[in-house]
Structure 1
Amino acid sequence: MDQLLAIRTFVRVAEAGSFAKAADQMNLPRSSVSKLVQDLEAHLGAKLVERTTRSVTITAEGFAYHERALRLIADLDEMDGTVAGGRSTPKGRLRVDIGSVMANQILIPRLPEFQALYPDIDLLLGVSDRSVDLVGEGIDCVIRGGVLADSALKARKLCELDFVVCAAPSYLAGRLKPEHPDDLREHRIASYFSALSGKPFPLLLQRGDERYDYLPAVPGMSVNESTAHLNSMLAGLGIGQTFGFLARPHFKTGALVELLPDWKPELRPLHLVYPADRFPNARLRAFSDWVANLFRDIDSRRG
């Protein structure tokens, strides 16, 4: 038995909650994953998982072994990163998930720099606006906006982002610009809706103690993907609210016009998030430090 591979396989099964998912994530046959865990249990003389036709449950012994196995794997990865007198760079697979507009506007254009610094990291970049299951999908970290309430996650704040309300000149032509949130009732809204619930997110408008959570009052259009949302405003489909760093370059060119500049919601924090029970390896630490510097450039607190 390859004990190290068996330990890594058990950790993946425990985190994925499924032999099938673990096999897919490790690119191994399902029979091999099952055999490795069985061999590890036989070697230990202890049951690590309880199997049913639909799920995998970790035993008390399995939980204790999983915690120590994580430390062992983290130490081994660290050893790999310091081999040959510290001349090697972090290496191996790193799965990162990020929203579409952040990926296309911020991260991907700068990834050649990351590849040059860490050529041995195999980066798997999941790009979508949907919520992801970090553990179940084998994701190392996700870049996510908003307040974090899940105690099973650890987070590193990357920046804070502001919002602006805007529209294209082609939409505003022949229409009165809104001077107050109440004026939006006469306008079409290019809004963003949740891919999970199908419900639109309101425009958040705040000035001092006054606050409006505005939902469209007249027919308009909605999308559930952030790059498409920006493009819908550029196309003149209505008034929308988006991140300031996305809109400001279009303000300079005249492709978008800022509206209601005195009505600003609170800044939105952006975090790099990873499971609390996972020890950050050299790959994750390298990416975390690099991406923190990257997103510092759009931090609204700096302006």
Structure 2
Amino acid sequence: MESFGSIECFVRSAEGGSFAEAARHLSLTPAAVGKSVAKLEARLGVRLFQRSTRRLTLTEAGKLFLEEVSGSLTTIQNAVANLASAEGRPVGTLKVSMGTVFGNRYVVPLLAEFMRRFPDISPDWHFENRQVDLIGQGFDAAIGGGFELPQGVVARKLSPAHRVLVASPDYLARRLPVHAPEDLSRCLGILIRSPQTGRVRTWQLTGPEREQRPLVLKPRMTMSDSEAACCASAQGLGIALVSMPMAVPFLDSGALVRVLSDWYVDDGNISLYYAEHKLLPGKTRAFVEFIIEQFAEQKLGQRFSAI
């Protein structure tokens, strides 16, 4: 039987594209990883990688071997982790990615209760407004919206990802009334620029009868963050289209009000993402179930809905 450690070195090298990336994941040196993979190749009698100075490339034999062993490796690791749990409780480092403002506002406040229930889990939470490579970067879970769903990853819906038009009461008091989407063309707009692409997206508004209308505002400024757009709009600088989780505190305080309250943008769902395994690690299962429970108890799905 081949060494479990050698097979893990091979799989992590294939996922990361280099011995150095695998070494960081496994807390080894690149030389140790390379030596372990070379021994595995010698025992199997085939070359698994084509090596270059810049990157590793799987051979045909390597691709076939990776397909055969990667799923089983994860299942074995999860089984070992679950058996190693302290007195049957979930244990280990929990690596999770989430949006900066969303995470700080809605997830971090749950941390004390989560730690009370699962004291043997050590959170390693990353706050970043981008999609991470859940499997390749070793994340246990991620929370976000509008993510592509890679193979081997599942999504559990937490709430709708709706966007709404907001403005300060003062701004609206100084302008002609806005009764229909067509009236927005004469209003100053605080536009959102994608931090990933640098482009200002175009949006279609959805009405009470599910009809669609283009969103057209007079560009006044651009922001790459919904909360920043809310803050600018609260100063009476224009109308902004922002995500509901960012808008909720401003709407609750009265600093902002909805414009065309029957109209919104449907941007999919805010979901909890994690790798699909036959045997999910106890720490990941505990986190998934806890977050779903808390979102239901706090009715965040309803609060984030524009309907």
TM-score in same-fold range (> 0.5): yes
Deviations 1:2-60 (A, max 9, x none): 94433333222222222222223334322222223223333444433222222222334
Deviations 1:174-219 (A, max 9, x none): 2234222122222222222112221112344222253223243x33
User: Partner residue of 1:70?
Assistant: 71
Deviates more, 1:48-57 or 1:104-113: 48-57
User: Partner residue of 1:298?
Assistant: 300
Amino acid in the other structure paired with 2:250: H
Q: 1-side partners of 2:14 and 2:277: how far apart?
A: 12
User: Partner residue of 2:184?
Assistant: 184
User: Partner residue of 1:154?
Assistant: 154
Whether the 8 Å CA contact 1:51–1:57 is kept in 2: the answer is yes
Q: 1-side partners of 2:133 and 2:39: how far apart?
A: 29
SS in 1 for 2:31: helix
TM normalised by structure 2 equals 0.82
Deviates more, 1:270-279 or 1:284-293: 270-279
Whether the 8 Å CA contact 1:177–1:259 is kept in 2: the answer is no
Q: 2-side partners of 1:43 and 1:119: how far apart?
A: 43
Q: Map 1:45-194; keep pairs closer than 5 Å.
A: 45-66=45-66, 67-83=68-84, 87-146=87-146, 148=148, 150-151=150-151, 153-194=153-194
SS in 1 for 2:219: coil
Quick one: percent identity of the two aligned structures?
32
Amino acid in the other structure paired with 1:40: L
Cα displacement (A) at 1:275: 4.7
Amino acid in the other structure paired with 2:255: A
1:76 to 1:129, Cα distance in 2 relative to 1, 3 A: closer
Amino acid in the other structure paired with 1:95: K
For the aligned residue pairs, the C-alpha RMSD in angstroms reads 3.1
Amino acid in the other structure paired with 1:195: P
Amino acid in the other structure paired with 1:16: G
Amino acid in the other structure paired with 1:211: Q
Q: 2-side partners of 1:90 and 1:6: how far apart?
A: 27
TM normalised by structure 1 equals 0.83
Which portions of structure 1, spanning 4 or more consecutive aligned residues, are displaced by more than 6 angstroms? none
Whether the 8 Å CA contact 1:221–1:237 is kept in 2: the answer is no
Q: 1-side partners of 2:224 and 2:60: how far apart?
A: 41
Number of residue pairs aligned between Structure 1 and Structure 2: 300
Q: 2-side partners of 1:226 and 1:128: how far apart?
A: 14
Whether 2:263 is the aligned partner of 1:273: answer: no
Q: Which blocks of at least 5 consecutive residues in structure 1 are unaligned?
A: none
Q: 2-side partners of 1:88 and 1:145: how far apart?
A: 33
Q: 2-side partners of 1:252 and 1:117: how far apart?
A: 31
Cα displacement (A) at 1:254: 1.2
SS in 2 for 1:10: helix
1:98 to 1:10, Cα distance in 2 relative to 1, 3 A: same
SS in 2 for 1:284: helix
User: Partner residue of 2:211?
Assistant: 210
Cα displacement (A) at 1:110: 1.0
1:212 to 1:299, Cα distance in 2 relative to 1, 3 A: same
SS in 2 for 1:142: strand
Q: Which blocks of at least 5 consecutive residues in structure 2 are unaligned?
A: none
Cα displacement (A) at 1:109: 1.4
Whether the 8 Å CA contact 2:145–2:269 is kept in 1: the answer is yes
User: Partner residue of 2:264?
Assistant: 264
User: Partner residue of 1:10?
Assistant: 10
